[in-house]
Chains A and B, each alone.
Chain A
Amino acid sequence: MKTAAEYLTVKSIAIAIAIRAALMLFVAAPLLAQAQALDAGNEDVRTLIYPLSWLEIGVINVPTDSPKFGEYNGLDRSGAYLLANVELRGGDAYQQGDGSTRWQVRGIDLGTTSRRLEANVAQQGLWNFGVHFDQLRHYTTDGSYQTPFLGSPGDNLFILPPAFGVINTTTTTSAGVITSENRGAQSLSASQLAMFHNKNIYTERRDTGLTAGYHMNAQWALQFDFKRLGQSGAKLIGSGTDAYDLSDAGGFKYGGERIAILMNPTEYKTDTLNLTLNWTGRKGFASAGYFGSIFHDDYSGISWSNPFVTGGTGGAPNPAPGTSPGAAFPLSTMSTPPGNQLHQLNLSGGYLFSPATKLTGGLSYARNTQNASYDGTYTLVPNTAEILPVNSLDGLVVMTHADLKLTHQASSALNFVAGFKYNERDNRTASHEYTFLDLGGEELSAVNIPMSNKRTQFDLGADYRFSAHQKLHLGYESERINRWCNNPLANNAQGELSATNAGYYTTASCVQVPRNSENRLVATWRASLGESVNVNAGFTHGRRSSEVNRSFYNPMQANNQGFENYGYLAFFDASRRQNLFKAGVTWQATDRFTIGLNGRRTNDDYDSTLGVQKGDTSSANLDASFSYSENGSVAAYASWQRRTRDLLSASGRDAIVLRDTLWSNNFSDRDNTVGFSGKQKSLLGGKLDLTEEFNYSSGTSRYVTNLVQNISAAVGNSGSSPDIRAKTTQFRFVGAYRLNTASSVLAGYLYQRLKSSDYFYSAYQFGFTPTTLLPTNQQAPNYTVNTIFVAYRYSFR
């Protein structure tokens, strides 16, 4: 005898088969005396079945300048902005007759730099076509960045006028303390300070695209879309350059690292194409497609004037600070991202052996190439690329992916899943040895190390339904990661070592952890207790092990620092045990009131002697919602999140033997968020709708360093960083008043306040920078903005 659950499952499977057939099947029903189609004459029916088109015009007033407030919404400067939103719909499909054409035009925020405009038209079941334009200006500073360089965001050449004068960074120190008058960038002359001016930094995206689709018949369809993403503007970036010694008889003599914060141009174009052929059969379906992404950077590098010199003594620097460099400052150059291409072929599909057994799978093959010339990516005077074996990378990465998943509903209560995934990034780029002048003027040679990796995953899962109200899921996942380099030059690259570390290189190099293997067990339980309470709980336990290469050569160093200390492993490939707990309960106390609580905790324990030791995250969330009437509801939530990370490191360098000079660092991040929202409809005789929303978010992050053993205390080498704090308060209130069926007036108030403090900016303040770092005087973003908007909406059908 079938149980209720079984009956339902069998019935549901039967329904699935019947649905396709039911489309054209007439369901015998009692003779209906008044069977009728939609009564389009009825006003209530009209408002339901005919689409609403509307236009909104208004103005929003922003009384405060704040690029951080306008970060994504374009309201960065005080003033009035045009509010324009539109949605138009039409097409004969809405007449419920023979027509199947629907079209739509939608525009959002047309008066700001965050505008979007899209239009599409389709003859449903036959073809569709659409175009869109989306603009987003992202303000990445709060407007307080100052620079003496001439040039605008989006340029790649930043010149200091010779009148700016040199910055002599020669200082005299005694026992680690600066004793001389000359403080380099920390004490710029009055005329140098006068040349600093503000620049508002933003990077802007303009996305233009079209989509088109065509149904050849019921089974075959073709879909195409193309998107051009054009980016302009800049993002701030550090830059290292050398101080040069003008007094050297041989010309420039470089040494040391001097820093200026520059406007790195983001003048990019990314073209994305998708062409897919879809087949849908009765039991199977498949999709074959091409995905292409072509990235182009307008520049190959960024150049800037180098005002930093050394020479003389701290008390009597030579040349004196502020002296003209002559005709011009020398230029330093670094690279910007090279143009690259990705071409990918994709195949995916599925087959339903039966309503209970399904197989899905996919294959992907992609080639990612990059062959931008090295011209313009390095300083020319002096020529820092001393030996260039080739003039471009000719890089090739082949990425392959395969996945397969089988699900089987063994009975109404038992369900199985088995899956396999494979992802490989095979870097086939050649290695060469490059000899170059690095920061500090040192001549070095390095071999480029193109890295490859692959990830193989298996998972098995079973779901058992005890009843309609209780379910248990058990799963096992395994993951293997392999890392390697494809060419012998990369595998055998070795740096020079000091005597302490002689004998370090014993095996092939390239990556520190050539193999990771992880196994995870997952258990989740869900249940309904009675009619109104739902609970769920879950637990995951994972163990990852690493196979470590004991003579790993870090490709970023070509000198005697090319390795990590003995016993140290990077966290992302270290052995670890991971536990995850989660639980939640939702109680629908009445038809109108629901309350829910859920929480989560993860513990990561790393087995490495040195490196990240532990990482924990905890979160708890409380939610409640209450619909006090047909026309009103309120909701509130509170979220609490914590994250910590413990790190143990050694000072000094020893690749062979564990060092005994140890220090630790603890990171903690605490985030609390609360919010409230409400909606009231049809007040004042059905004419007024109100919505309110309030959010408050507070985040605090802090680092604490302790000297664990055998490290003498020195100024600044232990203790707590100042807190990184950000508190955002946001309140939105919008009302819409219906003047008549076609017109409404909308008005709203938005209050937003950010209070933030971050020690990050301490480094860049005039007079407080390191002597070798050019200030920017950037401040932590803080703002209080009250905005009001008024708009008129006209709607029609």
Chain B
Amino acid sequence: MKRLMSIALLCAFVAASVVATRFAVAGEEAAPTRLGQDAVCTRCHDESETKPILAMYQTPHGVTADARTPSCQSCHGESAGHLVGDKDGKGRPAPDVIFGSKHTPAGYQPSAPLAQTEACLSCHKAGLRTHWSGSQHQTNDVVCSNCHTVHAANDPMLVKVLQPGVCFGCHKEQRAQTHQFSTHPLDAGKMACSDCHNPHGSAGPKLLAKNTVTETCLTCHAEKRGPFLWEHQPVNEDCTNCHTPHGSNISPLLKSRPPFMCDECHDGPHNSQAPYGTAVGGIQGGGALAGGNPNSNAVGRACMNCHVMIHGSNSPTGAFLHH
């Protein structure tokens, strides 16, 4: 019974599309349906494919009622040679545009990066992709399909918990850093790389989403923005003077820790000129004075036991960042 129904549906579709085909070939007004256009390809590349190419119909690209959405040939090219087949015994010619960086199972080589990215940029050139040309990824021949999977119900790049895994395919250092002691919640799935970066190109450094490092960090950490009555110069200029955002062995996401971190910029005021070695370990680390009084300038938070307003202070008594 099911088979009869299938056959009946089949006939109905065939009839409809033959009619559509007829009209178009005759050059009359009726535009082909989007599905009819796709059928040029989905006739052979159907649900039996190993990759779920029909799943595209679940995505925004597959909303056939939206006139802007592409058909198969809009992105993969007219591919007349491929449609015609293997006429001269040398194998079926490749479609016009092959996406990716590896050859396909059938042995077709991927197209040049420019051809691949132009296929997407023809529609997606604005917004986040404004600075694509000349960006770090573009110069390194990264193409859209290296990261995005459009023939799937869910593009991992657009799912917060899955996105970092895609980026880590190339960015191995950052993958290792997300497993360190102090991190942003990337491994926990609460943040994704795109919360700070715009991989499509940006006006900021290192593909950051905003114009500068501080502007990017302050979108979530606005309490450090100020301006404060008493400022701390490295904070105004670049958060990464002290912090390393992907992961660190030193909490909270610091490159180094007091007193040594402070010693990298200060040598003169108060204890920044004093050397501390084993003293930082306190009595237990063997650095205390005999009689056992550790130096509060060296142990624990060291300088920051008292100089606590490290990002700046708005108290009239806070010129030394104590208050």
Within 8 Å by CB, do A and B touch in the complex?
A: yes
Kindly identify which residue among A20, A453, A754, A763 contacts B282, using a CB–CB cutoff of 8 Å.
A763
State whether the Cβ of B146 lies closer than 8 Å to any Cβ in chain A. no
In the assembled complex, B194 has its CB within 8 A of some CB on chain A = no
Contacts of A765 in B (CB 8 A): 284
Q: Is B91 an interface residue (CB 8 A)?
A: no
Taking the closest CB of chain B, its distance from the CB of A269, in whole angstroms, is 9
Question: Chain A, 332-362, contact with B by CB distance < 8 Å: what is the 0/1 string?
Answer: 0111011010100000111010010010101
Say whether, besides A23-B68, A448-B229, A768-B284, A45 and B317 are in contact (CB < 8 Å). Answer: no
Q: Check if A198 is an interface residue, CB within 8 A of chain B.
A: no
Closest to A598 in B: B172
A144: chain B residues within 8 A (beta carbon): none
Q: Residue A293 contacts which of B5, B222, B304 (CB distance < 8 angstroms)?
A: B222
CA distance A101 to B36 in the complex (A): 21
Interface residues of B in 109-160 (CB under 8 A from A): 111-112, 114-115, 118-119, 121-123, 125-127, 130-131, 133-134, 139-141, 153
B281-305 contacts to A, CB under 8 A, are: 281-296, 298-301, 304-305
Is B108 engaged at the interface, CB distance under 8 Å to the other chain? no
- Asked if A38 contacts B57 (CB within 8 A), the reply is yes
Listed from nearest, the 7 A-B pairs whose CB atoms lie closest are A716-B279, A12-B115, A763-B300, A240-B306, A716-B287, A699-B249, A763-B299
Q: Is the CB of A114 within 8 A of B16?
A: no
Q: Known contacts being A19-B75, A44-B47, A384-B317, is A568 close to B280, with CB within 8 Å? A: no
Chain A positions within 8 Å of B223 at CB level: 266, 268, 295, 297, 337
B287 adjacent to A611 (CB under 8 Å): no
Taking CB as reference atom, which chain A residue is nearest B103?
Answer: A531
* Given contact pairs A51-B153, A240-B308, A715-B288, A35 touches B17 in the complex (Cβ within 8 A): yes
What is the CA–CA distance of A32 and B10 in the complex, to the nearest angstrom? 13
Query: Within 8 Å of chain B (Cβ to Cβ): is A378?
Result: yes
Q: Considering the chains assembled together, what is the distance between the CA atoms of A317 and B260 in angstroms?
A: 35
User: Which of A98, A100, A378, A651 lies in contact with B317, CB distance below 8 A?
Assistant: A378
Query: Are A72 and B230 within 8 A (Cβ)?
Result: no
Contact A27 to B40, CB < 8 A, known contacts A11-B96, A338-B314, A669-B249: yes
Task: Contact check, B153 vs A370: say whether CB atoms are below 8 A apart.
Answer: no
Q: Name 18 A/B residue pairs within 8 A (Cβ), A-sorted.
A: A16-B119, A22-B78, A26-B37, A36-B10, A37-B38, A44-B48, A72-B190, A124-B66, A259-B305, A393-B229, A451-B236, A557-B270, A561-B268, A572-B237, A591-B105, A724-B250, A768-B294, A769-B294
Compute how far the CA of A307 lies from the CA of B153 in the bound complex, rounded to whole angstroms.
Answer: 63
Interface contact A762-B275, CB-CB below 8 Å: no
Identity of the chain B residue whose Cβ is nearest the Cβ of A396 in the assembled complex: B227
Determine whether the beta carbon of B219 is less than 8 Å from that of A293: yes
The smallest beta-carbon distance between A270 and chain B, in angstroms, is 5
Q: Does B166 contact A (CB under 8 A)?
A: no
* Closest Cβ neighbor of B173 among chain A residues: A619
**Count of residues in A whose CB is under 8 Å from the partner chain:** 231
Question: Closest Cβ of chain B: how far from A618's Cβ, in Å?
Answer: 11
Verify B55–A49 contact, CB threshold 8 A. Answer: yes
How many Å from the CB of A482 to the closest CB on chain B?
12
Question: CA A434 – CA B153 in complex, angstroms?
Answer: 62
For chain A, residues 642 to 694, give those with C-beta under 8 angstroms from any C-beta of chain B. 645, 647, 649-653, 655, 663, 665, 667, 669, 671, 673, 675
Does B31 lie within 8 Å of A26, measured CB to CB? yes
Q: Is A722 among interface residues, defined by CB-CB distance under 8 A? A: yes
- Among B130, B249, B319, the residue within 8 A (CB) of A555 is B319
Q: Are B249 and A701 in contact (CB under 8 A)?
A: yes
A439 → B minimal CB distance (Å): 5
Q: How far is the CB of A436 from chain B (nearest CB, A)?
A: 4
Residues of A within 8 A of B153 (CB): 51-52
B224 at the interface (CB under 8 A from A): yes
Closest to A122 in B: B60
Shortest distance from the beta carbon of B183 to any chain A beta carbon, whole Å? 8
- Contact status of A665 and B126, CB under 8 A, knowing A334-B322, A417-B133: no
Q: Considering the chains assembled together, what is the distance between the CA atoms of A99 and B250 in angstroms?
A: 54
Please, which residue of chain B has its CB at the minimum distance from the CB of A621? B172
Contact B25 A15 (CB under 8 A): no
Q: CB distance B212 to A39 under 8 Å?
A: no
Docked-complex contact B264 and A453, CB < 8 angstroms:
no
Instruction: List, in ascending order, chain A residues with CB within 8 A of B17's CB.
Output: 32, 35-37
A564 and B272 CA atoms in complex are apart in Å by 9
* Given A377-B315, A722-B285: A439 touches B306 (CB 8 Å cut-off): yes
Residues of A within 8 A of B260 (CB): 647, 665, 667, 703
- Known interface pairs A178-B289, A350-B130, A651-B275. Does A12 touch B161 (Cβ–Cβ under 8 Å)? no
A96: contacting residue among B57, B279, B288, CB under 8 A: B57
Instruction: Verify A28–B134 contact, CB threshold 8 A.
Output: no
Chain B residue contacts of A786, Cβ below 8 A: none
Q: Is the CB of B263 within 8 A of A649?
A: yes
By CB atoms of chain B within 10 A, which of A48, A393, A425, A706 has the most? A48
Tell me the minimal C-beta distance from B132 to chain A in angstroms: 8
| B58 → chain A closest CB, angstroms | 5
Please report the C-alpha to C-alpha distance between residue A36 and residue B15 in the assembled complex, in whole angstroms.
8
Given A564-B266, A568-B268, A663-B275, check contact A48 B52 (CB 8 Å): yes
Having A37-B13, A396-B227, A570-B266, one finds 7 other A-B pairs with CB under 8 Å, namely A72-B185, A114-B190, A285-B130, A377-B323, A556-B230, A565-B268, A716-B287
| B93 within 8 Å of A (CB atoms) | no
A655's closest neighbor in chain B, by CB?
A: B268
B50 & A703 in contact (Cβ 8 Å cutoff): no
| A572 near B238: Cβ-Cβ < 8 Å | yes
A39 to B43, CA, bound (A): 11
Q: How far is the CA of A721 from the CA of B257 in the complex (A)?
A: 12
* Given A52-B153, A272-B219, A726-B180, CB of A34 within 8 Å of CB of B225: no
B277 contacts A717, C-beta separation under 8 Å: yes
CB within 8 Å for A705 and B276 given contacts A11-B115, A41-B6: yes
A35 — which chain B residues lie within 8 A by C-beta? 14, 17-18, 20-21, 36, 39-40, 43
CB distance from A528 to the nearest CB of B (A): 10
Are A650 and B267 in contact (CB-based, < 8 A)?
yes
Q: Which of A98, A565, A759, A769 contacts B273 (CB 8 A)?
A: A565
In whole angstroms, how far apart are the Cα atoms of A529 and B202 in the complex? Answer: 32
Contacts of B234 in A (CB 8 A): 570, 572
Pick from B24, B173, B290: contact of A639, CB under 8 Å: B173
Among A114-144, those with CB < 8 Å from B are 114, 116, 124-125, 134, 136, 138, 140
Judge whether B89 is part of the interface by a CB distance below 8 angstroms: no
A671:B180 contact, CB within 8 angstroms = yes
Which of B16, B130, B176, B226 interacts with A37 by CB under 8 Å? B16
Distance of A572 Cα from B37 Cα, bound (Å): 59
**Complexed CA–CA distance, A671 and B255 (Å):** 13
Q: How long is the Cα–Cα vector from A701 to B247 in the complex, in angstroms?
A: 14
Nearest Cβ on chain B to A510's Cβ, whole angstroms: 10
Are B308's CB and A335's CB within 8 A? Answer: no
